[in-house]
Structure 1
């Protein structure tokens, strides 16, 4: 279930609030300039190709490209048996920013986006059918958990994709990780 947990950066181990109401999550994130949507489910085979996935969501992807000026879209997947899963997880666990929006639509699985907004950190556990758009310049990090399993559509303004600019802050290591917030043992 999609959840939003809000933490104060000065008391990072205790959530100030938690909600699993999608409308409330959308409202709270919109107040911070974060786009959050839920798209209708498409029945796709587990081994659907990038082209099949992009075709299934062509209308939504086209709408976002038109509204936001995105140039390209692709599909990224990660499974628990991937030999580099630990390195991929570590790569995104440090706080960073991008010079363009980071947009992810979860076709399957889940992942946890942390958004460091002022003194608050919004931890959004995104799941199947969730779209999140993190505006450029927003301090954030992503935790896919120790056994990642997700497929996401990504949209880019720059055809070369995004590059992370790490902040050097330790805040990401001070908040509860995926295992705690996703209820995974």
Structure 2
């Protein structure tokens, strides 16, 4: 089940609020400029589907969002617990960073934890199957796919080369719960 835990930066062990109802999560994130939505596939997606099959199942929603927001490219990230570089990939997202463009992820399968550092709060968004999150450019955040990742996510970019992360240098991410905690 998707959830949103909102923490004050001074209390990483105790959230101020925890939300599990979609409308509450979406409304709370919208107040911070974060898009949270749900999509359904037009066709059934078989385990192990190719990038083309995954994109095809969501083509209408992808086209609409790409037109609306000016995204230029789309791809599919697929990771599981057998991936030989799972630890390195996880580590690359765990430090707080920013991007010069939006970070858009739609979870076709599996889950991941986006932590958004906005002013004096951290918004920990557990995204699961059918969840779309769009983190605006410049928003400080980190992402955890867990020690044993299992996710298939559609990604959209403004830059055809994909996004580049700029580390903030803040160690805040190390103080907050991880996906497997």
Shorter-normalised TM-score: what interval? over 0.9
1:14 aligns with 2:14: yes
Rounded Cα–Cα distance in structure 1 between residues aligned with 2:40 and 2:57: 11
Rounded Cα–Cα distance in structure 2 between residues aligned with 1:175 and 1:13: 7
Which residue of structure 1 aligns with residue 145 of structure 2?
144
Rounded Cα–Cα distance in structure 2 between residues aligned with 1:43 and 1:3: 25
Structure 1 stretches of at least 4 aligned residues deviating more than 4 Å after TM superposition: none
Rounded Cα–Cα distance in structure 1 between residues aligned with 2:4 and 2:66: 26
Which residue of structure 1 aligns with residue 46 of structure 2?
45
- The answer to whether the 8 Å contact 2:40/2:58 transfers is no
Offset at residue 124 of structure 1 (A): 0.3
Give the root-mean-square deviation of aligned CA atoms. Answer: 0.7
Please give the TM-score of this superposition, normalised by the length of structure 2: 0.98
Instruction: Give the SS at the match of 1:152.
Output: strand
Query: Superposed, which structure 2 residues align to 1:151-170 within 5 Å?
Result: 151-170=152-171
Query: Superposed, which structure 2 residues align to 1:1-185 within 5 Å?
Result: 1-41=1-41, 42-180=43-181
Instruction: Give the SS at the match of 1:51.
Output: helix
Give structure 2 stretches of 5+ with no counterpart: none
Instruction: Give the SS at the match of 1:33.
Output: coil
Rounded Cα–Cα distance in structure 2 between residues aligned with 1:10 and 1:48: 43
Rounded Cα–Cα distance in structure 1 between residues aligned with 2:89 and 2:73: 22
Instruction: Give the SS at the match of 1:178.
Output: coil
- The answer to whether the 8 Å contact 2:39/2:132 transfers is yes
Please give the TM-score of this superposition, normalised by the length of structure 1: 0.96
Instruction: Give the SS at the match of 1:136.
Output: coil
Instruction: Give the SS at the match of 1:14.
Output: coil
Give structure 1 stretches of 5+ with no counterpart: 181-185
User: How many matched pairs?
Assistant: 180
Q: Deviations over 1:123-176 (max 9, x none)?
A: 000000000000000000000000000000000011000000000101000011
